[in-house]
C-alpha cells in the first residue's frame, strides 16, 4: 500500500533514534513499494512530459555540437582575452554537481550516517550523469574535436607525449578516474537490487536484462562478506578521490599566474562549493521525484532536513572563502590581485558577482530556521537558487579574471552567443534524459541497504521488541 | 557432480523469516561441523558472517597490491614520457621524450603526484571490484539456488540456510531432520 503517514521524524530526541523508514515494518512491503517505480505498467504522465522536453533539449545539444564541429569555435563567444568562456564554466559547474553523489555514498558511509541509504543511489546516478555532461565540454572545447585522443598518452606517429607537468593533463586523469570509480561504485551498489528486480520480473526480456546485470547474485552470506568489505574499500578510495577531483580542477586556475586565480585557497574552496552545489542539485531532483513516485516513506522530511543542514554549512564555508579571498587580496599588497577582486565586486561583471553572493551566501542562511528547513516549497526554491548561484560563481571566476588581467590594453568583454546558451541548456537536457531513464529502469533506491537500516534487521532483537505501525519502537 | 546419483538432491534449503532466526540456526549448523553450506539473505545480516565462522577475506591485501601496481605504472608512465629518452618495443617502437618545461627538473616529483594518486586510486578500485567478483565466483549464469522459484524471495524478504549434498557431513535423512529441528518455516529440496 502506498501510504503517506504524517509522522514528524525531524524531532530531535536523544533518547531514541528517529526512524529512517516510515510506514513499513516488514521487508517485503519495502521491496514492493520501491519496485513499483520500475514495475508500474505505465510511468506517471509527468515522466513522459519531462522525458520529451529533456530529449528535445538533448537533441539540441547534439545539433549544437554538430554545428560547432562543422563551423569552428568561432560560433562561441570565446575571444581573446576570454579564451575560456562558457565551456569551462559549464565543465566546472557540472563536475561540481557530481561531488554530492560521492560525498553521500562514500564519506557519509565512512561516517556511518545511515540516513544516506535512501538518497545514495540516485545521488550517485546524478554524479555519473553530471560527469558525462562535464566531460562533454572540455571535449568540444579543444577545437579540433577529432584530435581529442591527444589528451591521452597514446603512442603516436609523431613521437609526442602529453606534458605531465600541466594541470590540464592532471584533469584528464582526475576526471577520468572519478568517472570510472563513481560508475563502478554505483554499479556494485546496485547489483543486489538488480537481482531483486530480476527475481520479480514478469517477462522474459526483463528477467534476462536484469539477470545479466545482476551477475548471478544470490544473496549468499559468503558473498555479502566480501561484498561489504569491497564496498567499504571503495568508499575509502572514493573519499580522497572526491576531494582530489575538484582540487585538481581548481589547479587549472590556481597554477596559472592570472590575478584572481593564483590563490592557494582554491582547492578547499572549490571542494566546498562543489559539495554545496551538488546537494542543491540532489534536492532539486529528490523533491519532485518523491512527490511523483510516492517515495515519501523513504526520502523523509528528516532526509531533506539533513541535506538542508549540509547546504547551510557548505554555503557558509563558500561565503567564508569569498571573504578570505578579499582579505588576502588586500593583505598581499599586490596591485593586480587587489584590482581583480575590487573589479569582481564593482566592475563590469558586478551583476554576476552579486547574483553569486546573494544566491550562495545570503539565501542559504534561511536554513538556520527549522520552519524553512522543513518547508518543501521554500527548500525547493532555495535549491534552484543555489544552482544558479553556483553557476555564476564559476562564471565570475573564469570570466572576470580573464577579461581584465594585467594590461588595460588587452582587456575585453565576454558575451555568450546563442550557441553558447543553447549548448548549456542542451546539457541539462542530456542530464535529465539520462536521469529519467534511470528512474524508470533501474532501482531508484538502494533496496537492500534500506532494509538493513530498519529496526527489524537487527539480529540481536531476538525477543522481538514490540513495534507500532510506524516502525518505531513502542515506548513503555 | 558426476559421481552423484541422479535422485540425490543438490542440497536442502531451510527458510527463515527473521535475521535473528537465521543467525541462531547458522550457529547450530556451524557447530554441527558442516562445511559446504551457506546463508542467503536479502541484505547483509550484521554478525551472521561471524556466526557462520567465515574467515576475514584477503580482499584488502589484493587491493593493496592493485594500488601499488597503479602507482608504479603512473611513475613509469610519467618518467618514461616526460623525463627519459629511451626506446621501448611494444608492438610498435615507442620512444620516450625529455620534456623541458619552464626550467623544471626532468623528473619533477611534485608535479607528478596528482597522476600518481589518480592511477593508484583507479587501479585499487578496479582491483577491489574485480577481485571481489572473482573470489565470489561471479558473474555466474546458473546456480541451483537461483533455480528454485521458492527461493526467489531471497532478494526480497526471506532468509535461507542451504546445506549442500557434497558436504562430508551430509546424509540425506539426517540432514533433513537436522534442518527441521532448527525451527524453519519450511525446508526446500534443491535440484542441481
Residue A339 lies inside a defined structural domain of this protein: yes
Judgement on whether residues B87 and B98 belong to the same structural domain of the protein: yes
* Shortest CA gap A235–chain B (Å): 9
Please indicate, yes or no, whether residues B87 and B52 belong to a single structural domain of this protein.
no
Quote the domain boundaries for residue A220. 27-143+162-457
Is residue B4 in a domain?
Answer: no
Using the Cβ of B48 and the Cβ atoms of chain A, whether some distance falls under 8 Å is answered with yes
How far, in Å, CA of A265 to CA of A250, rounded? 9
CB contact under 8 A, B121 and A226: no
Same domain, residue pair B98 and B127 = yes
Is residue A36 less than 8 Å (CB to CB) from chain B? no
User: Cα–Cα distances in Å, from A446 out to A20, A154, A197, A288?
Assistant: 13, 39, 12, 18
Q: Residue A232 and residue A16: Cα distance in Å, rounded?
A: 27
Between CA A85 and CA A465 the distance in angstroms is: 61
Chain B 163-192, CB below 8 Å of chain A: which residues? Answer: none
Contact A427, A60 (CB under 8 A): no
Chain B nearest-CA residue for A166: B111
Q: Which residues of A touch B43 (CB under 8 A)?
A: 192, 224, 448-449, 451-452, 457
> Is B99 in contact with A165 (Cβ distance < 8 A)?
yes
Determine, for residues A229 and B136 on separate chains, whether the beta-carbon distance falls below 8 Å.
Answer: no
**How many other β-carbons are positioned within 10 Å of the β-carbon of residue A168?**
14
| Separation in Å, CA of B70 to nearest CA in chain A | 12
Best mutation target among B66, B115, B164 (most A Cβ atoms within 10 Å) is B115
B2: in domain: no
Distance CA A445, CA A427 (A): 25
Among all residues of chain B, which has the CA nearest to that of A246?
Answer: B114
| Residues B84 and B125 occupy one common structural domain | yes
Interchain pair B119, A451: CB under 8 A: no
Please answer yes or no on whether A164 and B154 come within 8 Å at the CB atom.
no
The answer, for A170 touching chain B at a CB cutoff of 8 Å, is: yes
- Choose one of B116, B136, B156: the last residue of a domain: B136
Give the C-alpha distances (Å, rounded to integers) separating B40 from A188, B114, B158: 18, 42, 8
Contact B157 A162 (CB under 8 A): no
Distance CA B124, CA B178 (A): 44
Output the pLDDT for position B1: 44
Predicted pLDDT of residue A29: 85
- Is there a contact between B154 and A219 if contact means CB atoms under 8 Å apart? yes
Task: Locate B97 and state its grid cell.
Answer: 621524450
Asked if A223 has any chain B CB less than 8 Å from its own CB, the reply is yes
Q: Does B112 touch chain A (CB under 8 A)?
A: yes
Residue B32 and residue B77 in one domain: no
Q: Is B15 helix (H, G, I), strand (E, B) or coil?
A: strand
Our CA-based measurement puts residue A405 at a distance from the nearest CA of chain B, in whole angstroms, of 22
- Contact between A92 and A398 (Cβ < 8 Å): yes
- Per the structure, the count of domains in chain A is 1
Query: Within this chain, do residues B63 and B127 fall inside the same structural domain, yes or no?
Result: yes
* Dihedral Cα A273, A176, B130, B52, nearest 10 deg: 0
Of B95, B136, B146, the CB nearest to A223: B136
Q: B96 contacts in A (CB within 8 Å)?
A: 161
Higher pLDDT, B169 or A204: A204
pLDDT of B182 > 90? The answer is no
Phi, psi of B186 (to 5 degrees): -160, 165
Domain of residue B96, residue span: 59-136
Q: Best interface-test mutation with B: which of A220, A443, A446 has the largest number of B CBs within 10 A? A: A220
- Are the C-beta atoms of A81 and A165 separated by less than 8 Å? no
- pLDDT tens for A271-299 read 999 999 999 999 999 999 888 888 888 88
- Does a structural domain hold residue B154? yes
Mean pLDDT (whole number) for B105-130: 92
CA A180 to chain B, closest CA, distance in angstroms equals 8
The reply to whether B1 falls in a domain is no
CB contact under 8 Å between A222 and B157, yes or no, is: no
Asked if A240's CB is within 8 angstroms of B114's CB, the reply is no
DSSP string, A174-197: HHHHHHHHHHHHHHHHHHHHHHHH
Q: CA A289, CA A435: separation in Å to the nearest integer?
A: 11
Specify if B176 maps to a domain: yes
User: Is residue A188 less than 8 Å (CB to CB) from chain B?
Assistant: yes
B130 and B63 assigned to the same domain: yes
Residue B152 in domain: yes
Contacts of A229 in chain B (CB under 8 A): 56-57, 59-60, 132
Residue B5 maps to a domain: no
Nearest to A457 among B19, B81, B152 (CB): B19
Q: Which residues of B fall within a CB distance of 8 Å from A192?
A: 42-43, 155
CB-based contacts of A399-402 (< 8 A; 24+ apart in sequence): A399/A82, A399/A85, A399/A89, A399/A349, A399/A352, A400/A260, A400/A340, A400/A343, A400/A344, A400/A347, A400/A349, A400/A352, A400/A353, A401/A253, A401/A258, A401/A259, A401/A260, A401/A261, A401/A340, A402/A81, A402/A82, A402/A83, A402/A84, A402/A258
Q: How far apart are CA A321 and CA A315, in angstroms?
A: 10
Pair (B182, B132) in one structural domain: no
Yes or no: say if A432 and A57 are a contact pair by the CB < 8 Å rule.
yes
Q: Cβ separation of B121 and A177 shorter than 8 Å? A: yes
Inter-chain touch A181–B125, beta carbons under 8 Å? yes
Q: How far is A98 from chain B (nearest CA, A)?
A: 17
Residues B86, B130 share a domain: yes
Task: Tell me what pLDDT residue A469 has.
Answer: 45
Q: Are residues B63 and B52 part of one domain?
A: no
In this structure, the number of other CB atoms found within 10 A of the CB of residue B65 comes to 13
CA torsion sign for A266, A270, A273, A275 is: negative
Grid cell 592511477 is found at: B119
Strands (E), B63-158: 87-90, 92-95
Say if A338 is an interface residue toward chain B (CB within 8 Å).
no
Q: What are the residue ranges in chain A where pLDDT is below 50?
A: 1-5, 462-476
Count up the domains in chain B and report the number: 2
User: pLDDT tens digits for B58-94?
Assistant: 999 999 999 999 999 999 989 888 888 877 776 767 7
> Is residue B128 located within the same domain as residue B153?
no
Strands, DSSP E only, in B17-158? 37-40, 87-90, 92-95
Identify all chain B residues contacting A223, using CB atoms and an 8 Å cutoff. 136, 138
Shared domain check, B85 and B51: no
Q: What angle do CA B43, B46, B52 make, to 5 degrees?
A: 100
Amino acid at each position: 500500500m502506498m501510504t503517506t503517514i504524517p509522522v514528524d521524524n525531524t524531532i530531535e530526541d536523544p533518547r531514541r533514534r528517529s526512524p529512517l523508514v516510515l510506514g513499513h515494518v516488514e521487508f517485503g512491503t519495502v521491496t514492493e513499494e520501491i519496485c513499483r517505480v520500475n514495475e508500474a505498467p505505465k510511468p506517471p504522465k509527468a515522466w513522459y512530459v519531462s522525458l520529451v522536453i529533456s530529449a528535445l533539449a538533448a537533441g539540441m545539444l547534439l545539433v549544437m555540437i554538430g554545428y560547432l564541429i562543422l563551423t569552428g569555435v568561432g560560433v562561441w563567444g570565446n575571444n581573446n582575452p576570454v579564451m575560456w568562456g562558457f565551456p569551462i564554466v559549464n565543465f566546472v559547474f557540472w563536475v561540481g554537481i557530481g561531488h554530492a553523489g560521492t560525498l553521500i555514498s562514500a564519506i557519509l558511509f565512512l561516517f556511518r550516517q545511515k540516513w544516506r541509504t535512501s538518497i545514495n543511489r540516485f545521488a550517485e546516478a546524478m554524479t555519473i550523469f553530471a560527469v558525462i555532461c562535464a566531460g562533454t565540454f572540455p571535449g568540444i572545447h579543444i577545437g579540433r574535436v577529432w584530435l581529442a585522443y591527444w589528451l591521452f598518452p597514446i603512442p603516436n606517429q609523431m613521437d609526442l607525449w602529453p606534458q605531465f607537468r600541466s594541470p590540464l593533463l592532471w584533469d584528464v586523469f582526475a576526471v577520468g578516474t572519478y568517472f570510472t570509480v563513481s560508475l563502478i561504485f554505483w554499479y556494485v551498489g546496485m547489483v543486489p537490487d538488480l537481482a531483486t528486480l530480476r527475481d520479480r520480473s514478469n517477462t522474459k526480456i526483463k528477467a534476462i536484462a536484469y539477470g545479466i546485470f545482476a551477475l548471478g547474485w544470490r544473496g549468499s552470506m559468503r558473498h555479502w562478506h566480501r561484498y561489504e568489505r569491497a564496498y567499504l574499500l571503495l568508499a575509502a578510495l572514493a573519499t580522497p578521490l572526491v576531494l582530489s577531483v575538484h582540487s585538481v580542477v581548481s589547479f587549472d586556475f590556481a597554477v596559472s599566474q592570472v590575478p584572481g586565480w593564483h590563490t592557494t585557497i582554491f582547492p578547499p574552496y572549490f571542494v566546498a562549493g562543489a559539495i554545496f552545489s551538488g546537494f542543491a542539485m540532489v534536492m532539486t531532483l529528490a523533491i519532485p521525484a518523491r512527490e511523483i513516485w510516492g517515495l515519501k516513506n523513504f526520502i523523509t522530511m528528516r532526509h531533506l532536513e539533513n541535506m538542508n543542514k549540509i547546504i547551510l554549512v557548505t554555503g557558509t564555508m563558500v561565503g567564508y572563502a569569498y571573504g578570505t579571498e578579499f582579505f588576502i587580496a588586500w593583505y598581499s599588497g599586490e596591485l593586480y590581485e587587489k584590482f581583480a577582486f575590487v573589479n569582481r565586486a564593482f566592475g563590469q561583471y558586478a551583476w554576476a558577482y552579486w547574483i553569486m553572493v546573494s544566491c550562495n551566501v545570503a539565501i542559504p542562511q534561511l536554513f538556520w530556521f527549522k520552519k524553512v528547513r522543513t518547508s518543501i516549497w521554500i527548500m525547493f526554491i532555495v535549491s534552484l537558487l543555489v544552482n544558479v548561484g553556483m553557476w555564476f560563481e564559476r562564471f565570475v571566476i573564469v570570466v572576470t579574471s580573464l577579461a581584465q588581467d594585467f594590461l588595460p590594453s588587452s582587456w575585453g568583454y565576454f558575451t555568450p552567443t546563442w550557441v553558447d546558451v543553447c549548448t548549456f541548456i542542451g546539457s541539462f537536457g542530456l542530464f535529465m534524459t539520462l536521469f529519467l531513464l534511470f528512474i524508470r529502469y533501474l532501482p531508484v533506491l538502494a533496496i537492500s541497504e534500506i532494509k538493513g537500516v530498519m529496526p527489524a534487521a537487527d539480529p540481536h532483537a531476538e525477543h522481538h521488541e514490540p513495534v507500532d505501525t510506524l516502525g518505531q519502537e513502542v515506548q513503555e | 557432480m558426476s559421481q552423484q546419483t541422479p535422485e540425490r538432491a543438490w542440497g536442502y534449503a531451510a527458510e527463515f523469516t527473521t535475521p535473528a532466526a537465521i543467525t541462531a540456526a547458522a550457529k547450530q549448523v556451524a557447530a554441527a561441523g558442516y562445511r559446504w553450506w551457506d546463508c542467503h539473505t536479502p541484505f547483509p545480516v550484521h554478525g551472521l558472517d561471524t556466526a557462520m565462522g567465515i574467515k576475514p577475506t584477503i580482499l584488502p591485501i589484493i587491493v593493496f597490491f592493485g594500488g601499488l601496481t597503479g602507482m608504479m605504472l603512473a611513475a613509469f608512465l610519467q618518467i618514461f614520457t616526460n623525463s627519459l629518452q629511451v626506446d621501448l618495443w611494444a608492438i610498435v617502437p615507442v620512444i620516450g621524450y625529455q620534456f623541458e618545461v619552464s626550467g623544471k627538473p626532468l623528473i619533477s616529483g611534485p608535479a607528478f603526484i596528482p597522476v600518481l594518486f589518480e592511477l593508484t586510486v583507479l587501479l585499487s578500485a578496479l582491483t577491489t571490484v574485480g577481485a571481489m567478483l572473482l573470489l565470489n565466483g561471479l558473474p555466474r549464469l546458473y546456480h541451483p539456488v537461483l533455480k528454485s522459484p521458492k527461493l526467489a524471495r531471497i532478494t526480497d524478504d526471506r532468509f535461507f540456510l542451504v546445506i549442500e549434498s557434497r558436504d562430508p557431513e551430509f546424509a540425506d535423512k539426517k540432514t533433513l531432520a537436522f534442518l527441521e529441528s532448527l525451527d524453519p518455516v519450511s525446508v526446500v529440496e534443491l535440484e542441481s
